Amino acid sequence: MNIIIPRTKKFKSNHLDTYITRIENIEKTKVQQLVNYLLSEEHSNHENSRILSNNNNPDEYLENNQNKINSNSKRKRHIGGKKLKYSNKSITFNIPVDYEVTDINLKNIQSRLVEYIKFMYKNENIDLRDIDIFSNIHDQGNSHINLIIPYLTDNGETIRFIKSQDKFLKVVAKEFTNIVDNELNTNIQTYKTRYDQIEELNETYLNYDKLTLEDISELKKKVKDNKLLKRSYDYLYKVINGGNQIKTIQRLANTAKAMGKSEKVTKEEYDLFLKHLRLSGFMEKLSEEGKTIIKDSIKKRK
* CA 59 – CA 63 distance, rounded (Å): 6
Q: Look up the pTM and report it.
A: 0.65
Between CA 208 and CA 219, with CA 213 as vertex, the angle to 5 degrees is 75
* CA 201 – CA 210 distance, rounded (Å): 14
- Give residue limits of the domains in the chain: 9-187, 192-297
In what helix (H) or strand (E) does residue 26 lie, and over which residues does it extend?
A: strand 21-27
* Predicted pLDDT of residue 254: 72
Reading across the β-sheet that carries 144-150, which strands appear in turn? 9-13, 21-27, 86-94, 144-150, 134-139, 50-52
pLDDT digits (tens, 9 = 90+) for 226-283: 666 666 667 666 666 665 566 666 676 777 676 666 666 666 666 666 665 555 455 6
Topology given in CATH for the domain delimited by 9-187:
BirA Bifunctional Protein; domain 2 (3.30.930)
Mean pLDDT of 103-124: 95
Residue 101 · residue 95 · CB < 8 Å: yes
Burial of residue 58 (CB within 10 Å: 0-12, 13-18, 19+) is middle
Q: Output 284 or 177, whichever has higher pLDDT.
A: 177
